[in-house]
Amino acid sequence: MEVIHDIDKARIAHPCVQTIGGFDGLHLGHQYLLSQVKDAAAERQAKSMVITFRRHPSATLRPQQPVRLLTTLDDKLALLQSLGIDYVTVLDFTPQMAAMPARQFMAHILRDKLHATALLMGYDHRFGHQSRETFADYQHYGTLLGIEVIQALELPAPQGLHVSSSAIRQALTDGNITLANQLLGRPYSLTGTVAHGQRIGHTLGFPTANITPCEPLQLLPRHAAYVVRATAAGTTHIGMLYIGSRPTFRSLTEQRIEVHLLDFHGDLYGQPIRIEFLSFLRDEQHFQTPADLQRQLQADLQAIRKFEN
């Protein structure tokens, strides 16, 4: 897969069947769309191309209320490569681009710079300034510009579930890891770096790695304890992860992300770590004493052992 970060330097030798969007989460609906892009490219002896954005468009359109992200750009690119896409073009969604009419965008970006022969549009997708066009408008522009515009099929709802990035964000906000993972088609993940903490877990017999997320805007599931799979320092372990403000210790009010890895002994400070959420474990709780918390952690440990295999 070739990643294009500067469209002015792009040298694309083949016509491309393209699709464009944020693709945050690259969930089952996105994957179904991309399978159609690949099929359409094969039928036309062209290459497949995904056009996406370095930052979510909401960061430009609504900088005070940007969308909480489901995937980092690096994760998105890795997932696109695993899906067999030929080209990925990463655009900077600037105010100038936001103001560009759809026809101009199709002519100057898709056709002139990125060699579009066809554009596959998601069933509910719109682009261009204020996004007022209908699908018939995009088809008309395409006819004038020599770009075939194709309406993609919607993913048949798996088990009656609506698949969308918004639905996944709501599931994570509710702590419904099972539903979020169903809609994604894989475990929800978080990447970060292990940072120093107050070593409270260590004093309780449950040393934890404190995680600083790589992407500050990434959405975290609601405050609770979760069963996770963590990969760090070349090894993978089941663990229990806590997101919250640690109400048992009233002097510690900042939100923390802490993971205890089963059967791990070593120093992870400064190391990158990847977390995959497997299941909700329990709600955030206030315990009367550290000893009460310690007993709960022992019970949690037994509950997550079943995930080791």
Task: Mark whether 32 and 156 lie in a shared domain.
Answer: yes
Task: Mark whether 154 and 26 lie in a shared domain.
Answer: yes
The model's confidence at residue 63, banded by pLDDT at 50, 70 and 90, is: confident
Tell me the C-alpha distance between 278 and 178, whole Å: 7
Question: Quick check: 253 pLDDT over 60?
Answer: no
Task: Mark whether 148 and 30 lie in a shared domain.
Answer: yes
The per-residue pLDDT for 204 is 58
| CATH number of the domain within which 228 lies | 2.40.30.30
The residue with greater pLDDT, 207 or 30, is: 30
Task: Mark whether 145 and 192 lie in a shared domain.
Answer: no
Query: Between vectors from CA 262 to CA 188 and to CA 303, what angle results, nearest 5°?
Result: 75
Task: Mark whether 147 and 256 lie in a shared domain.
Answer: no
Between the alpha carbon of residue 158 and those of residues 29, 78, 181, 308, the distances in Å are 10, 25, 13, 28
Q: How many domains does the chain have?
A: 2
The per-residue pLDDT for 156 is 84
Task: Mark whether 103 and 225 lie in a shared domain.
Answer: no
Task: Mark whether 50 and 154 lie in a shared domain.
Answer: yes
Is 63 contained in some domain? Answer: yes
| End-to-end Cα separation, the chain, in angstroms | 34
| CATH number of the domain within which 65 lies | 3.40.50.620
Domain holding 281, by residue range, is 187-307
Task: Mark whether 147 and 208 lie in a shared domain.
Answer: no
Neighbours of 142 (CB within 10 A): 21
Instruction: Please give the average per-residue pLDDT across 40-63, as a whole number.
Output: 92
The model's confidence at residue 39, banded by pLDDT at 50, 70 and 90, is: very high
Is 1 contained in some domain? Answer: no
Tell me the C-alpha distance between 222 and 214, whole Å: 18
Is 5 contained in some domain? Answer: no
Contact between 87 and 41 under an 8 Å Cβ cutoff? The reply is no
Q: What percent of the chain has pLDDT over 90?
A: 60
Q: Which long-range contacts (CB under 8 A, 24 or more apart) does 59-68 make?
A: 59/93, 59/217, 60/93, 60/94, 60/95, 60/98, 61/98, 66/217, 67/24, 67/169, 67/217, 68/169, 68/217, 68/218, 68/219
Instruction: List the structure tokens of 292.
Output: 């009460």
Query: Between vectors from CA 58 to CA 56 and to CA 59, what angle results, nearest 5°?
Result: 75
Question: Quick check: 303 pLDDT over 70?
Answer: yes
- Asked which of 119, 144, 160 is the last residue of a domain, the reply is 160
Task: Mark whether 29 and 127 lie in a shared domain.
Answer: yes
Question: Quick check: 19 pLDDT over 70?
Answer: yes
Pairing assessment for the beta strands 235-244 and 256-261 based on DSSP bridges:
antiparallel
Is 246 contained in some domain? Answer: yes
The per-residue pLDDT for 297 is 81
The model's confidence at residue 37, banded by pLDDT at 50, 70 and 90, is: very high
Around 285, how many Cα atoms within 13 Å sit in the side-chain half-sphere?
A: 15
Is 124 contained in some domain? Answer: yes
Instruction: Please give the average per-residue pLDDT across 165-179, as a whole number.
Output: 96
DSSP state letter for 293: H
Is 181 contained in some domain? Answer: no
Tell me the C-alpha distance between 148 and 140, whole Å: 10
Backbone φ, ψ for residue 187 (5° rounding): -65, 140
Task: Mark whether 119 and 201 lie in a shared domain.
Answer: no
Task: Mark whether 123 and 18 lie in a shared domain.
Answer: yes
Q: What is the mean pLDDT of the chain?
A: 88
- Asked which of 160, 175, 202 is the last residue of a domain, the reply is 160
